[in-house]
């Protein structure tokens, strides 16, 4: 099993360094900071960080505004407080808005653009994806999912017996998570936990024939979602099952319960939208990650639909990760049927 094969960047520290480069009398935007990190997709996280970072007297986060010149929120007070600080530094405003923002904006950041480097890593993984794989229904299917409590991430691995329709084995793993959630970069946030779970299953001889990942497979802006990453690095067949569509085109109008429709990318079917139940109008989106094809991925997911929106293995991985995340961090294993989680309790060790 491979590691991530690169050092993940400390984005909060790098963002703080970028902010410190903005001189007095100038402003920058959330989008400009995201681009300096290497991807405009980080703009939402930049805004979140601005409202939750460790703010002190010398902090210059008031110099970050919206692209249209409006000031946006301010961690230390109201927009008028932000306006006063900017005006005191010589920034020209009109009714709490920077009219000539292009003339007062700073863009000359010194930056390694770390997210651009991670895109290169994704491209390297993408070249290794294999969409050929098993043709027969597996005996067991595993699922992995991660839940969060503050900066702590708890992942669960659930092994589902397709014939007996029950959990055969499970385990959890908890560690601190530093890399933030940024659309298109989920793999770099969750892979350290997921790889640890797969390794634990391997060591216990409890590996599933296929692993379902809560996230995208090839239905991803760069064709390499978290299910692809896990499949390639762990060399296991993987399927991505997500609740939202990151990439591709599909008509979702008037879908009937249990109806499946192809998701197209570049005119080719690359995944499936599937409305699982009568009770849920929202479909799930299924795409292969590695060592499996589009049609087989759909068949395996459909085989586990027992009245819920999610396939059973994925449903229980979600439940187990949430339950374990509320407890002190320690590895857990669990065998048997599902009753202890149905009542909201946590699995026994």
pLDDT tens digit string along 228-263? 999 999 999 999 999 999 999 999 999 999 999 999
Structure-token pair, residue 215: 């996230």
Q: What is the pLDDT of residue 186?
A: 92
166 and 65 in one domain? no
227 and 149 in one domain? yes
List the domain range (segments joined by +) for residue 191: 124-342
Residue 1 lies in a domain: no
CA distance linking residue 148 with residue 233, whole number of Å: 23
Last residue of a domain, one of 65, 91, 112: 112
pLDDT tens digits along 143-186: 999 999 988 999 999 999 999 999 999 999 999 998 999 999 99
Instruction: Check which CATH number belongs to the domain holding 183 and give it.
Output: 3.30.2170.10
Residue 347 lies in a domain: no
194 and 266 in one domain? yes
149 and 269 in one domain? yes
130 and 107 in one domain? no
Catalytic residue among 26, 59, 61, 228: 61
* 342 closest CA partner among 206, 207, 167: 167
3 state DSSP class of 226: helix
211 and 106 in one domain? no
257 and 317 in one domain? yes
For 185-211, give the DSSP string: -HHHHHHHHHHHHHHHHHHTT---SEE
Residue 349 lies in a domain: no
Q: What is the pLDDT of residue 24?
A: 97
Q: What is the pLDDT of residue 1?
A: 75
326 and 184 in one domain? yes
pLDDT higher than threshold 90 for residue 134:
no
Task: Give the pairing type, strands 260-265 and 238-242.
Answer: unpaired
Residue 228 designated active-site: no
Q: pTM for the whole thing?
A: 0.87
Last residue of a domain, one of 62, 89, 112: 112
228 and 133 in one domain? yes
pLDDT tens digits along 259-312: 999 999 999 999 999 999 988 889 999 999 999 999 999 999 999 999 999 999
Q: What distances in angstroms separate CA 169 from CA 140, 207, 250, 301, 337, one per listed residue?
A: 11, 9, 36, 19, 10
Domain count along the chain = 2
């Amino acid at each position: 099993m491979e590691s991530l094969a690169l050092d993940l960047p400390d984005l909060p520290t790098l963002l703080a360094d970028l902010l410190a480069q903005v001189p007095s009398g100038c402003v920058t935007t959330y989008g400009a900071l995201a681009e300096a990190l290497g991807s405009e997709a980080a703009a939402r996280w930049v805004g979140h960080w601005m409202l939750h970072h460790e703010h002190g007297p010398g902090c210059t986060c008031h110099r970050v505004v919206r692209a249209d010149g409006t000031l946006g929120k301010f961690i230390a007070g109201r927009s008028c407080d932000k306006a006063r600080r900017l005006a005191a530094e010589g920034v020209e405003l009109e009714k709490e808005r920077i009219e000539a923002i292009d003339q007062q904006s700073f863009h000359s950041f010194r930056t390694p653009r770390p997210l651009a480097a991670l895109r290169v890593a994704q491209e390297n993984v993408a070249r290794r994806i294999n969409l050929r794989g098993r043709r027969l229904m597996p005996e067991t299917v595993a699922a992995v999912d991660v839940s969060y409590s503050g900066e702590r991430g708890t992942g669960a691995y659930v092994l589902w017996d397709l014939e007996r329709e029950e959990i055969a084995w499970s385990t959890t793993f908890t560690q601190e998570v530093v890399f933030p959630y940024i659309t298109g970069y989920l793999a770099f946030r969750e892979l350290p936990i997921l790889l640890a779970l797969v390794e634990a299953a391997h060591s216990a001889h409890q590996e599933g024939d296929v692993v379902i990942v809560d996230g995208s497979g090839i239905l991803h802006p760069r064709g390499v979602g978290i299910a692809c990453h896990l499949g390639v690095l762990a060399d296991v067949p993987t399927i991505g099952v997500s609740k939202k569509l990151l990439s591709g085109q599909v008509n979702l109008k008037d879908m009937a319960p249990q109806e499946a429709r192809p998701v197209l990318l570049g005119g080719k079917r690359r995944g499936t939208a599937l409305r699982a139940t009568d009770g849920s109008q929202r479909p799930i989106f299924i795409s292969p990650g590695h060592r499996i094809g589009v049609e087989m991925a759909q068949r395996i997911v459909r085989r586990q639909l027992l009245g819920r929106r999610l396939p059973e293995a994925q449903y229980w991985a979600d439940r187990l990760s949430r339950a374990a995340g509320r407890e002190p961090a320690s590895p857990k294993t669990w065998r048997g049927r599902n009753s202890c989680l149905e009542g909201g309790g946590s699995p026994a060790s």
